Structure 1
Amino acid sequence: MGLEKSLLLFSLLVLVLGWVQPSLGVESRETQTQKFQRQHMDEEGHFPSSPTYCNQMMKSRGMTSGSCKPMNTFVHESWETVQAICSQGQVTCKNGKSNCHKSSSTLHITDCRLKGSSKYPKCDYTTTDSQKHIIIACDVVHYDASV
């Protein structure tokens, strides 16, 4: 029953967010779910095979336009696997809200961190590949942490 309820709530969220159509910029035209997928999902097998993975991905996903996003995580699992986390262990988010859920198993992820000497427009990232649990917020899709 919990899984069905979570999936129903998630589907409702996607439907509701799909109706919101702000007017300016790529980020404002996409739903929260689309933004999450653009910024955090890389299930198509683009596993980091080189130290330039993060530089390429951050640029191609629009996270180096106007400024360098300091940190980002890509999840190398199916969208269905990530959605299922919403029915797994509930935890408190970093912002104190109680809508976060922690994956019950470790997932293949890549952390991209801006190098200290890097300055916009030449954003230069370190690429760290690992297996970790992830935490996501489920009422508004948001990547919260990896542990």
Structure 2
Amino acid sequence: SGSSPSSNSNYCNLMMFCRKMTQGKCKPVNTFVHESLADCSQKKVTCKNGQTNCYQSKSTMRITDCRETGSSKYPNCAYKTTQVEKRIIVACAGKPYVPV
């Protein structure tokens, strides 16, 4: 099916296109989370950019990592699909305080 990457090496190519991440240029990296997103009351951690509004999930989550391949060239964006289970970090903002 279109929402499950389990055996589909084209998952990233399809999802990046459907989510309009290949318009104008190829987005180099994107992560799709296949479970309810961690809420903003989890363990607080420092974000990669130094901000302090990031939170780490308490448990591992099923995610799909999409990375542009070396042969990818706009408008023919191409992605490598990798499925992983790991804790994720989300940034939170706004009122109510929600993942962004």
- With the length of structure 1 as denominator, give the TM-score of the two structures: 0.61
Match of 1:52 in 2: 10
Matched, 1:73 2:31: yes
Match of 1:97 in 2: 51
Q: Between Structure 1 and Structure 2, whose CA radius of gyration is higher?
A: 1
Matched, 1:137 2:91: yes
Match of 2:65 in 1: 111
Amino acid in structure 2 at the alignment position of 1:113? R
Amino acid in structure 1 at the alignment position of 2:84? S
Q: Is the 8 A contact 1:45 1:76 kept in 2?
A: no
Q: What is the aligned-residue identity percentage?
A: 59
Instruction: Call closer, same or farther: CA 1:45–1:55 in 2, change over 3 Å.
Output: closer
Structure number with higher relative contact order (C-alpha < 8 Å, ≥ 6 residues apart) = 2
Distance in 2 (alpha carbons) for counterparts of 1:125 and 1:45: 16
Amino acid in structure 1 at the alignment position of 2:22? T
> Which segments of structure 1 move beyond 6 Å, counting only runs of 4 or more?
none
Q: Is the 8 A contact 2:69 2:79 kept in 1?
A: yes
What RMSD in Å do the two structures reach over aligned CA positions? 1.7
Question: For each residue in 1:1-45, what CA deviation from the matched residue of structure 2 results, as whole angstroms up to 9, or x when unmatched?
Answer: xxxxxxxxxxxxxxxxxxxxxxxxxxxxxxxxxxxxxxxxxxx98
Q: Which has the higher strand share?
A: 2
Q: Which has the higher helix share?
A: 1
How many residue pairs match? The answer is 95
Distance in 1 (alpha carbons) for counterparts of 2:57 and 2:12: 23
Distance in 1 (alpha carbons) for counterparts of 2:17 and 2:54: 28
Distance in 2 (alpha carbons) for counterparts of 1:64 and 1:46: 18
